[in-house]
C-alpha cells in the first residue's frame, strides 16, 4: 500500500527546501518557441532533456554536455512521431517506456525500442488508463520511484474548489493494466488549489511537492499516510515542477513577456531536507 493522504500537520523539519542554483533562469526560448502554450512539460534526466511540443504533438529530445548543468551546451537530438494531444509526460526508470497524459482523461504508455531515444518511440500506445471523468483533471500527474503508484491532481465533482489527489497503485511496476482501485483525498484543509507537482524520493523517504504561486508545499509519507509538512518559498513563479530521479534537483518553468511573444526560463533548485 503506497498510502492515503492525510490533511494533518507534522514535523516542519521534513519540509523539502529548494535552493536556486547559480545557473538557474536559463532562457530556453530557442528550444521551446516563443508563443503561449508552445510547450506542456519538460524533463531532465542527467544529460538528457525532453519536452512536449504541443504545436506538433511530439516530444523533442536534447542533450546537455554535462549532466544537470544548465551552463553546459544544449544540443538537439531527435523528435518522436505524432502522438496527439499531450499535457504531461514521465519516463520509466530504465527509459524503455514513456507515460503521457492527454488533456486530462487518459494516461498512455508508449514503448521505446531503444531506451531513452525518443526517436524510437512507438506512436501507438501499448497501454492506457482512463482517469475519473467526474470532476476536472486540472493539474499534473506523476509516478513514484519504482513505478508502483501513479498520482494525479483534480477538482472533485462534488466540490469543484476542493483540491484532490488521486492515486492508483500498480501491482506490477509501470504496468497500467494492474492498477488497483482509486484512492482519493481532499487536501483543501492543508493546501490551496493544486498546481503542478511531483514525487521526490530522497534519503529513503517519499515526498509529494506542490507549487502554489511562488510557494511549494510538502507532504511526506509516514507509514501509510501522507502528512502535510507546510510551505517554503520557491523563489520564482513557476508553471511546472518536476524532480530528477535521484531527488537531487527540482526544476520549474517560468515565462516573461507577452501577450503574443514570450521568453521561457528554466529554473533549477538543489533539494535539501
Residues 6+ apart with CB under 8 A from 27: 263, 264, 265, 266
What pLDDT is recorded for position 75? 92
| The length of the chain, given as a count of residues | 273
pLDDT band (50, 70, 90) for residue 5 = very low
What pLDDT is recorded for position 117? 97
What pLDDT is recorded for position 4? 44
What pLDDT is recorded for position 161? 52
Mean pLDDT (whole number) for 59-68: 93
- Work out the mean pLDDT of the chain and round it to a whole number: 79
- Nearest to 266, CA basis, from 74, 60, 78, 57: 74
Percentage of residues of the chain with pLDDT beyond 70: 74
**Backbone dihedral region for residue 9 (phi beyond 0: left; psi -120 to 50: alpha; all else: beta):** beta
Q: How far apart (Å, rounded) are the C-alpha atoms in residues 115 and 131?
A: 27
Cell of 236: 520564482
What pLDDT is recorded for position 115? 97
Q: How far apart (Å, rounded) are the C-alpha atoms in residues 110 and 185?
A: 29
Q: Per residue in 107-129, pLDDT tens?
A: 999 999 999 999 999 999 999 99
pLDDT at 255 over 80: no
167: buried, middle or exposed (CB in 10 Å: 19+, 13-18, 0-12)? buried
Q: What distance lies between CA 193 and its chain's CA centroid?
A: 16
Decide which of 160 and 73 is more confident. Answer: 73
Q: Per residue in 193-252, pLDDT tens?
A: 566 788 888 888 888 887 766 677 788 888 777 777 777 766 555 556 677 767 788 887
Q: How far apart (Å, rounded) are the C-alpha atoms in residues 209 and 196?
A: 9
Q: Are strands 127-130 and 58-64 parallel, antiparallel or unpaired?
A: unpaired
Amino acid at each position: 500500500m503506497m498510502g492515503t493522504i492525510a490533511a494533518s500537520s507534522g514535523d516542519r523539519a521534513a519540509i523539502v527546501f529548494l535552493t536556486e542554483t547559480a545557473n538557474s533562469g536559463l532562457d530556453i526560448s530557442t528550444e521551446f518557441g516563443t508563443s503561449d502554450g508552445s510547450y506542456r512539460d519538460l524533463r531532465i534526466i542527467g544529460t538528457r532533456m525532453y519536452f512536449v511540443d504541443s504545436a506538433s504533438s511530439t516530444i523533442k529530445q536534447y542533450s546537455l554536455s554535462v549532466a544537470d548543468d544548465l551552463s553546459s551546451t544544449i544540443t538537439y537530438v531527435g523528435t518522436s512521431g505524432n502522438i496527439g494531444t499531450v499535457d504531461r509526460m514521465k519516463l520509466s526508470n530504465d527509459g524503455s517506456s514513456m507515460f503521457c497524459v492527454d488533456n486530462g482523461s487518459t494516461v498512455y504508455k508508449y514503448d521505446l525500442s531503444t531506451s531513452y531515444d525518443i526517436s524510437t518511440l512507438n506512436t501507438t500506445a501499448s497501454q492506457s488508463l482512463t482517469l475519473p471523468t467526474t470532476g476536472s483533471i486540472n493539474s499534473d500527474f506523476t509516478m513514484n520511484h519504482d513505478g508502483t503508484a501513479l498520482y494525479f491532481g483534480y477538482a472533485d465533482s462534488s466540490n469543484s474548489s476542493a483540491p484532490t489527489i488521486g492515486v492508483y497503485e500498480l501491482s506490477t511496476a509501470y504496468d497500467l493494466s494492474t492498477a488497483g482501485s482509486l484512492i482519493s483525498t481532499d487536501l483543501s484543509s492543508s493546501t490551496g488549489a493544486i498546481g503542478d507537482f511531483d514525487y521526490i524520493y530522497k534519503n529513503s523517504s517519499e515526498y509529494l511537492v506542490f507549487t502554489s504561486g511562488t510557494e511549494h508545499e510538502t507532504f511526506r509519507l509516514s507509514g501509510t499516510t501522507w502528512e502535510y509538512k507546510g510551505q517554503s518559498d520557491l523563489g520564482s513563479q513557476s508553471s511546472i515542477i518536476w524532480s530528477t530521479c535521484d531527488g537531487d534537483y527540482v526544476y520549474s518553468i517560468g515565462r516573461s513577456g507577452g501577450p503574443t511573444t514570450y521568453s521561457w526560463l528554466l529554473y533549477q533548485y538543489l533539494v535539501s531536507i
